[in-house]
Structures are given as structure tokens and as C-alpha cells.
Structure 1
Amino acid sequence: MILNFFDQFISPSLLGLPLIALAMIMPAMLFQTPSNRWLNNRLITLQMWFINRFTYQLMQPLNVSGHKWAIMFTALMLFLITINLLGLLPYTFTPTTQLSLNMALALPLWLTTVLIGMFNQPTISLGHFLPEGTPSLLIPILITIETISLFIRPLALGVRLTANLTAGHLLMQLIATAAFVLITIMPSVAILTSIILFLLTILEVAVAMIQAYVFVLLLSLYLQENV
């Protein structure tokens, strides 16, 4: 029995092996690689169509110099979607509920986009801190605000993903616990609660995919400002 609702976010172990390690390598095992045949099966065809459409939509606003990030963004998107969805299965663990993992993904990628902008177009990158025509009295205030907003971006990326998944998992566990307790006391209320839990599970599947997309989309927007 779980004594604390937040115990579900502690990485469990199976035969001495942390489940977070299994969850990290699981995406590479789930996706099939295209063969050398002229025609692939339906699963690979659907998978390749999804990857191509996502990459096209993500890279369309970027110029040619930013297209070299397509493989990294697509791989990150598939990785986040897979581990988010795997976390909804029973007896599994969601690594993206850990802020440390999300910050480890967000901070280096954000810093890379900033350094690319500083190296390729330093004038434009520094110009974001002070818009043209700013009154002299507002210059230090605007520079301070823009600096804070720049350095808050990786924190916002990591916290957004962590908070959405954590809140969804907690809410599902609360409703499931209520349904389990009410099944012997008020069966009709327990059935209604179970229906709500089923609908919430469908919503969490959508949230798992949307949050992965938002994470990668925001990184592409940060890159767009610096290429």
C-alpha cells in the first residue's frame, strides 16, 4: 500500500535494476527501423508518415541553417512521447515526472541555442535585450526584465513538463483510490468515479503527447530567434 501519494514518483527497482534505466532505453526498442524493401508494413509506413509530417511542421518556420536540428528535435519528440505514454501503464515509472531529467534535457539545448545566436548574429541576439527607441529611463528596467526572461526559459521548460505530468498522475491516483474505497460502500458512486477515471486517463494520454510536442516546439522557437 502506498503511504504517500508522491511515492509513485520515486524510481523503483526490479531485480536490483532501476526502472528509470529501463524506461530510458525503451523508446529505442519500440520503434521499428525501415527495411531495404520497396514496400514496408503498415506500422512502419504510419510511423514514417508521422515523423515526416512532424518534422515538416517543426522545421517550416526555420531557415536552412536551422534544419540541421531536425534529427535531434524529432528524436527528442519521439523519446518524450514514448516515456510519457509508458508512464500511464500499471507498474511502470515515468522519468519525465523528475525535474532533474527534464532540466537535463532543457538546459543544454536552450544554452546551445543561445550560444549559436551569440556566435552567428551577436548584434541581433543582444538587440533582443533592448528594443529600438526605448526611453532612457526604461533602459535598465527592460534589460533586467529581458535578462530574467531569457534565463527563466529552461526552468519554464522543465517545470512545465514536470508539473503537468505530476498533476495528472496525482489526480488519477486520487480518483482511483476513491473508487477503490467506495466500491463496497456506495457501488453506484464508485462506478461513476470509475467512468471519470476512464475519461481522465484519455485526457492524460492527450496531455502526454501534447506536452512532448510543446517542449520540442518551444525549443524550436528559441532556435528560430538565434539562426
Structure 2
Amino acid sequence: MKILIIEDENELAESIATYLSHEQYLCEFASSCSEALDKIQLYDYACILLDIGLPDGSGLTVLEKLKFQNKQDGVIIISAKNSVDDKIKGLQIGADDYLTKPFHLSELTARIYSIIRRKQFNNSNIIKQNELEIDLLAKTVTVSKDQILLTKKEFDLLMYFVGNKNRVISKSTLAENLSGDIADMLDNHDFIYAHVKNLKKKLTEAGCGSYIKTVYGTGYKWENNDQNIS
């Protein structure tokens, strides 16, 4: 899952990204309002870590833009300002959480997970669809109680499909969520076809229903009209 770190303190941004990469998140960076606005215009993120005090303006501008575009990216304000007014204004505009510097990276990770779980998976740790069960905390996938082994890319792909069930998703969108903004520099997105093919093969061989549908000329869709969440 993609995280956007909007932070002008490079050392802090790199520290956050290094920690989150060990938690299997894909991180991108923006060090100014203008760069952040360009990023959110082009891409969607599971969560955005937003510093309010940026060199070319307030990070609240980014929040206002997200609200104007009706985007659903999760947002955590991370700021040295311990002002109640800033916190209230940010939450009123659309932020999901607020964390004051300095903070523990383990707490930040827990808050990111909580926001993603609430926004994409109805606040559940376990996703069930008929014979398929996904444990978000353990990062395990079972079909009829038998665990199947997925690569990190395959697991991320599955999570993106399930989190966007019944939506047609283009190959370019999948490429962005698996590879970040470097996807724009790739000649093609054939690697997406390979990952989807491998994921479908593993699920099918384990006895899972055919939930990944190819929408020819467009992309893919995860069909689910009866998802159980516990």
C-alpha cells in the first residue's frame, strides 16, 4: 500500500520511510505544498502523512484540495505545532488523525494501519469472502482454512483488489500502487499482467472462486457482492 510523506525535514522523512518499508508499505515523498499538490492530483494513497509547516505554505492547503476533489485518502497530520486550533482546523477540513512531533514510529504505524483498516476494510482485521480469508495483521491468506503463500507484490495486489471491490481498476492504477510514481517511467505495464496471472493461479489452485475478472481493454475487477467482515 502506498504512503505519501509530505515533510520538508529530509532526515525525518527518510527515517519514517525506512521504518514503514519494513512494515511492507511503499513510500513516496513531497517536501513542499506545490510538490504535494502535484502528487495528490496524479495519484491515490492509502494514507498521507502531512506536515503543516512547509516551506512554501501551510499543509492545510493540501487538505483543502483533497476535500475539494472528494478524494478518500487517509490523512494524518504530523506537526511540531502543539496547537489545539491547528488540530481542530485540520480535523474539520478532513484529516483523520493528528500526531505531534516527536513521536514513536511504532505509534505512527499503528495509526496508519487503523486508518486503512477503517477506510478500506470496515474497521476489521479479518476479511472473509466465502472460502477466502485474509488476516490483515498477520498478512496471511487462507482458502478453505489452508494457507497459501503469496509474494509481497501478490499480497499487495490482493489487498488493493479487495479494498476496491466491484470497481474496475486500470493497469496503470495497479502499477502505481505496486511500484509508486516510477510506474510513469515504465515503457509498459506488462508486469501487472504477470502478477495478476500468478495471483489468480495460486487462488484457483487452492480452490478459491474466480473473483478477479478481466475487463478487456480497461483492466480488472474484484467481484464481491457478499463479503463478510469480522
Tell me whether the two structures share a fold, i.e. TM-score over 0.5. no
TM-score by length of 2: 0.28
Larger helix proportion, structure 1 or 2?
1
Where is the strand percentage greater, Structure 1 or Structure 2? Answer: 2
TM-score (norm 1): 0.28
Larger radius of gyration: 1
